[in-house]
A = this chain, B = another copy of it.
Amino acid sequence: MAVKKKIRAAIVGASGYTGGELMRLLAGHPRMELTVVTARQAVGRPVVDLFPSLRDCCPLVFREYDPVELAAAADVVFTALPHKAAIEVVAGLAAAGLRVVDLSADFRFSDAAVYEAWYQEHARPDLLDLAVYGLPELFRRRIVAADIVGNPGCYPTAALIGLAPLFREGLVAAGRPVFIDAKSGASGAGRTLAAGSLFCEIDEGLKPYKVGSHRHQPEIVEQLGRYAGVPAEVLFVPHLVPISRGIVSTMYVPLRQDASTEDIAALYGRYYGAEPFVRPLPAGEMPNVLAVRGSNFCDIGFVSAAAGRTLVVATAIDNLVKGAAGQAIQNANLMFGLEETAGLTGLPLYP
């Protein structure tokens, strides 16, 4: 049995939590090897300086971003840069013939106008047509063929896996918003220094923020519309909770016609029964982020309420794995014809 050659991977912008999670997962990937990591503010420093957990497990040193070097050393690049900064880098890497999974928001929108309304001008709107939205459970076939994948936001991942089948099946009543009450751990805000990210500001706290004005709302709306072929209306309200990892998205869905919890169980069973990373829970059970922590799983719970007219769906993911680094690797696995679960078989840490 010939040993297959490994796919060479690089990470651009690897000093944050998403970068660290990519390194953790790639270190255990049977078919990929990490060859280069870059981080502008840490050039020359060993990875272990910023990630003591990786001691003895990652001998790399942070380098400057250099597309020529990357083209020589890698087959796939994960870009984990702030939005806007990613555009030029991804364009350069794609021009150099590299396949890219971009973890910023820059390649998640098909419609440049929506991106520009919520972010800023897009320097390369031409690339948006090439990029594929990297939610494998919805768009697997397109991802397989993609050169640029826009890796979904953490909140949209949790929301879309729960809502997409309901919209596609025409179950959602028109004219009334779906309310998405999402709760996220602190790593969602990244490793950037910010007053609101200090331990003492978050510990024992709990608060909503950016009600209806978070940039993940238009991302959810656009992808629901593309997947279901009908316009979707949602109101997205994120909350910050004192945990490091994890999102629970509790969604209040007005139904077009009454449906029982069992009806919904059957529906999710059809959509997700064969999915390796989506776990619909038994009817009536609700998900807990603790049961997915560290893994690429998305758990779904659901209850038909208000006499069958409203469906409450709750999803739980680890925002750094299924909501970022894990999903990025899942996408890269698809792009390179590997087993979709390769490198992603670690089970959740409980407790």
Contact = CB atoms under 8 A, between A and B. Distances in A.
A1 B1 CA distance: 8
Contacts of A63: none
A28 B306 contact: no
Contacts of A345: 28
A281 to B, nearest CB: 8
A246 B204 contact: yes
B28 A206 contact: no
A198 B181 CA distance: 25
Given A290-B53, A346-B346, A199 B207 contact: no
A252 B252 contact: yes
A241 B243 CA distance: 9
A298 to B, nearest CB: 12
A310 B252 CA distance: 13
A292 B314 CA distance: 28
A291 B204 contact: no
A235 to B, nearest CB: 5
A17 to B, nearest CB: 7
A52 interface: yes
Given A244-B351, A252-B179, A279 B203 contact: no
Interface stretch (A118-126, A188-196, A262-270): A188-196
A140 interface: no
Nearest to A58: B347
B347 A54 contact: yes
A200 to B, nearest CB: 4
Contacts of A52: 288, 290-291, 299, 350
Nearest to A193: B193
Nearest to A197: B198
User: Which of A176, A191, A198, A244 has the most chain B CB within a 10 Å cutoff?
Assistant: A198
A201 interface: yes
Contact of A183 (B56, B206, B346): B206
Contacts of A290: 52-53, 201, 204-207
B177 A306 contact: yes
Contacts of A299: 52, 55
Interface in A257-310: 279, 281, 286-295, 299, 301, 303, 305-306, 310
Residue among A52, A212, A289, A295 with the highest chain B CB neighbour number at 10 A? A52
Contacts of A347: 24, 27-28, 53-54, 57
The 3 closest A-B pairs by CB, nearest first: A205-B290, A53-B350, A200-B351
Given A212-B306, A252-B252, 14 more contacts: A1-B1, A28-B345, A193-B194, A197-B198, A198-B198, A206-B243, A208-B287, A212-B305, A235-B252, A235-B306, A241-B242, A245-B349, A294-B294, A349-B349
